[in-house]
């Protein structure tokens, strides 16, 4: 069993476990089950927590599927897009666009996301939004663990040096820029969305966050330092971690606690 197969097996176990818990909770809610080893006399799981945990499992399973496609069938369907996308990016480079993408990559990397997270935590503490501040800190800390860990686990090499506009000495999968963007920008967007009341402003926050994540990720493809499946895996793995953090945030704030 290779690494991707092991990841898929773990994802399948998590999926089945989530489905079992969801089924038991549903049966309890409609009165089909009133007692048993998995439920007590008063079981209430908020909807956002249940669906958030399901999203985390789904994202984790998705990243395992993408990596499995890369390892087992590099020339088919998903992984087959790697070389054509890289070639297209190389063919459409221009001096001005290169300067822009280099700047996006520079400021959208580790230093940029850390500064964003630190600023968000500071503002949230001033606003006394304790759990939101904890969520941003935990999400950001998770990125520092996930990226090097999964790079070592998957051990994928980067695209050919001849296609790279910047030199990156470490491994390729996942992309630290893409994963960091979706997690850090994502959690900041979530807590900002919780702070504003207007649905219109929430849409604006979501749109700006999505545009920033997409632009940072595209910069890594344009610069030739990542395959498109690196970015896809980073989005799904980062999405899983973001869903875990947001689910935890919904859980603790849903219980009415104001302080960590």
Query: Which of 36-45, 75-84, 142-151 is predicted most confidently?
Result: 142-151
Distance CA 196, CA 129 (A): 13
What is the pLDDT at residue 38? 47
| Domains identified in the chain, total number | 1
Cβ count within 10 A of residue 120: 22
Q: Does position 35 have pLDDT exceeding 70, yes or no? A: no
What is the pLDDT at residue 5? 62
Q: Does position 57 have pLDDT exceeding 90, yes or no? A: no
Range of the domain at 74: 3-254
Q: Does position 20 have pLDDT exceeding 80, yes or no? A: no
Cβ count within 10 A of residue 174: 30
- Residue 199, SS3? helix
Q: Which CA distances in Å does 12 have to 58, 113, 174?
A: 10, 32, 21
Distance CA 71, CA 253 (A): 41
**Residues in Cβ contact with 65 at an 8 Å cutoff, skipping those fewer than 6 apart:** 8, 11
Q: Is 135 exposed, middle or buried (0-12, 13-18, 19+ CB in 10 A)?
A: buried
Query: Are 143 and 179 contacting, i.e. CB atoms less than 8 angstroms apart?
Result: yes
Task: Catalogue the long-range contacts made by 204-209 (C-beta closer than 8 Å, 24 or more residues apart).
Answer: 209/185
The residue with greater pLDDT, 102 or 47, is: 102
Q: Does position 257 have pLDDT exceeding 70, yes or no? A: no
What is the pLDDT at residue 199? 86
Tell me the pTM. Answer: 0.82
As a whole number of Å, the end-to-end CA separation of the chain is: 42
What is the pLDDT at residue 71? 72
The residue with greater pLDDT, 114 or 81, is: 114
78-83-89 Cα angle (round to 5): 110
**pLDDT tens-digit map of 137-178:** 999 999 999 999 988 888 888 998 889 998 888 888 889 999
The residue with greater pLDDT, 232 or 29, is: 232
Q: Which position has the token pair 């499995």? A: 68
Q: Residue 7: inside a domain, yes or no?
A: yes
What is the pLDDT at residue 2? 62
- Residue 36, SS3? strand
Q: Residue 52: inside a domain, yes or no?
A: yes
Distance CA 85, CA 227 (A): 8
Query: Are 67 and 78 contacting, i.e. CB atoms less than 8 angstroms apart?
Result: no
**pLDDT tens-digit map of 169-180:** 888 888 999 999
What is the pLDDT at residue 119? 96
Mean pLDDT of the chain: 83
Q: Residue 260: inside a domain, yes or no?
A: no
Q: Residue 38: inside a domain, yes or no?
A: yes
The residue with greater pLDDT, 9 or 185, is: 185
What is the pLDDT at residue 124? 94
Q: Residue 85: inside a domain, yes or no?
A: yes
The region of weakest confidence among 60-69, 218-227, 243-252 is: 60-69
Q: Residue 185: inside a domain, yes or no?
A: yes
Query: Are 212 and 185 contacting, i.e. CB atoms less than 8 angstroms apart?
Result: yes
Q: Does position 7 have pLDDT exceeding 90, yes or no? A: no
Cα maximum dimension of the chain? 68
**pLDDT tens-digit map of 169-212:** 888 888 999 999 999 999 999 999 888 888 888 999 999 999 99
The residue with greater pLDDT, 232 or 3, is: 232
Q: Does position 63 have pLDDT exceeding 90, yes or no? A: no
Q: Residue 259: inside a domain, yes or no?
A: no
The residue with greater pLDDT, 28 or 169, is: 169
Q: Residue 126: inside a domain, yes or no?
A: yes
């Amino acid at each position: 069993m290779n690494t991707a197969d092991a990841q898929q097996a773990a994802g399948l176990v998590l999926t089945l476990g989530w489905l079992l818990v969801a089924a038991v909770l549903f049966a309890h809610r409609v009165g089909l089950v009133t007692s048993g080893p998995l439920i007590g006399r008063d079981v209430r799981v908020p909807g956002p927590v249940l669906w958030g945990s399901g999203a985390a499992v789904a994202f984790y399973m998705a990243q395992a599927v993408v990596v499995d496609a890369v390892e087992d069938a590099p020339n088919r369907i998903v992984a087959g897009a790697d070389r054509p996308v890289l070639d297209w990016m190389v063919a459409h480079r221009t001096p001005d666009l290169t300067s822009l993408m280099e700047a996006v990559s520079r400021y959208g990397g580790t230093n940029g996301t850390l500064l964003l997270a630190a600023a968000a935590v500071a503002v949230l503490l001033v606003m006394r939004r304790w759990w939101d501040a904890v969520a941003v800190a935990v999400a950001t800390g998770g990125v520092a663990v996930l990226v090097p860990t999964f790079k070592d686990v998957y051990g994928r090499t980067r695209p050919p040096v001849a296609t790279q506009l910047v030199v990156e000495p470490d491994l390729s999968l996942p992309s630290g820029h893409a994963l960091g963007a979706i997690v850090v920008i994502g959690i900041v967007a979530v807590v900002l969305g919780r702070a504003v009341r207007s649905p219109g402003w929430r849409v604006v926050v979501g749109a700006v966050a999505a545009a920033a994540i997409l632009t940072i990720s595209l910069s890594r493809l344009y610069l030739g330092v990542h395959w498109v499946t690196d970015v896809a895996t980073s989005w799904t793995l980062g999405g899983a971690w973001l869903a875990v953090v947001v689910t935890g945030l919904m859980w603790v704030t849903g219980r009415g606690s104001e302080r960590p």
